[in-house]
Homo-oligomer: A and B are copies of this chain.
């Protein structure tokens, strides 16, 4: 058995020599050990969640986060740190009040969807019209919901790769427009979430030009269950909703992408970008979404900055503004850097805490797949398996850059529990497993070092 083990180690070393030299491979192994032993990413996340808290685009927390991020980058040994302004609107949540009035009165837990208008100051009351899916709501005749409150009770499914999100999120994003077209006075929905806590899930919703804007809110999942149970009794169910959320059209919200670099020692203009979004919803402390990503990127860059020599290429950490309210930071980044996109050698974002990374999927040129295989061999001992697909976009903000031709990597975590906490008051530090965070930080550290030290053209 000993011989077998030795020979497989030899195979791994000899084949990865195609991309990295022996001494570079040694460096990589040392980096892996450093990252796995360090609790730096956890400490950075603790700092962000404790000292800043949540950070909705345009809010006081957002401003603090921008200052915090620059200070951290400087303290962690980045070579260059700067910001690029991002502007947009500032939506304020206000208060949400909801109750079942008849047949059996209950106060229920509700949260305004991001971007929702307010109800009147008195709130609104209406009979609940129940739809099990968005498709059912779409199928309702025009004017059939006049004066009613549309309720979609679709329950998100839990899956390791989070694929239950797609079928569920349509109601949140577009449900209010559909309901308004049918004459509804408001939309309420079961939260897009897999938990059973009395905590509702927010997230962005959209209005459509020419369609009446109506207030939209999510109920906590146990409250949605209760409402369904009342509806089953076949008596009219009357519901009360009050939201005081609003956007002041005269106010321009100012935020910024925060960018820091470990400057390349040989090819400083060639950029390996790693990123996360710095903003969060205004609930919880944005520990998972996306504080984890912020912390991982800062710690990864720091570990690499501690090496005696900078890697050949530049590692650029991009902390995007205003992801939650519509990828505003990513769009602004493209505006500023589109002409330089060819120099963006490869990129990977993280926006899918919490849980261990178990899979990586590349989106690179065919010739580069040998190098990707080499990288995968280094990551395999961390429990990361290489997907057979080679069609990945980077996550969230960086998907915009992938679409513009940037070669990309996508690291997939066990997302089974993510949607228990996503966009809720429950998105707090205690949900983060310190060991999983170490593993994920090690993965990004190795990805960044490997990509920056190799001379591979990932477009080919």
Interface positions of A (Cβ within 8 A of B): 46, 49-53, 103-106, 109, 196-199, 221-222, 225-226, 229-230, 284-285, 424-426, 428-431
Give min CB distance, A106 to chain B, whole Å: 5
Residues of B within 8 A of A51 (CB): 103-104
Closest chain B residue to A222, Cβ basis: B428
- A221-B430 contact, Cβ under 8 Å, with A198-B199, A226-B50: yes
Q: Give Cα distance in the complex from A104 to B428, angstroms.
A: 15
Residues of B within 8 A of A53 (CB): 104-106
Q: What would 27 A/B residue contacts be, using CB atoms closer than 8 Å? A: A49-B226, A50-B104, A50-B226, A50-B229, A50-B230, A51-B103, A52-B104, A53-B104, A53-B105, A106-B285, A196-B426, A196-B428, A196-B430, A196-B431, A197-B197, A197-B426, A198-B199, A198-B424, A198-B428, A199-B199, A222-B428, A222-B430, A225-B428, A225-B429, A226-B285, A226-B428, A229-B429
Q: Give Cα distance in the complex from A425 to B270, angstroms.
A: 53
Residues of B within 8 A of A198 (CB): 199, 284, 424-426, 428
Closest chain B residue to A228, Cβ basis: B50
Of A106, A198, A221, A284, chain B has the most CB atoms within 10 Å of the CB of A198
Give min CB distance, A311 to chain B, whole Å: 34
Give min CB distance, A42 to chain B, whole Å: 12
Q: Which 7 A-B pairs have the closest CB atoms?
A: A222-B428, A198-B425, A196-B430, A50-B229, A51-B104, A222-B430, A53-B106
Residues of B within 8 A of A424 (CB): 198
- A429-B284 contact, Cβ under 8 Å, with A53-B106, A106-B53, A199-B199: no
Closest chain B residue to A60, Cβ basis: B105
CB pair A197 B196 closer than 8 Å: no
Residues of B within 8 A of A49 (CB): 226
With A197-B426, A222-B428, A225-B430 given, can you name 20 additional A-B contacts, CB distance below 8 Å?
A46-B229, A49-B226, A50-B104, A50-B226, A50-B229, A50-B230, A51-B103, A52-B104, A53-B106, A109-B425, A196-B426, A197-B199, A198-B199, A198-B425, A198-B426, A222-B426, A222-B430, A226-B428, A226-B429, A229-B429
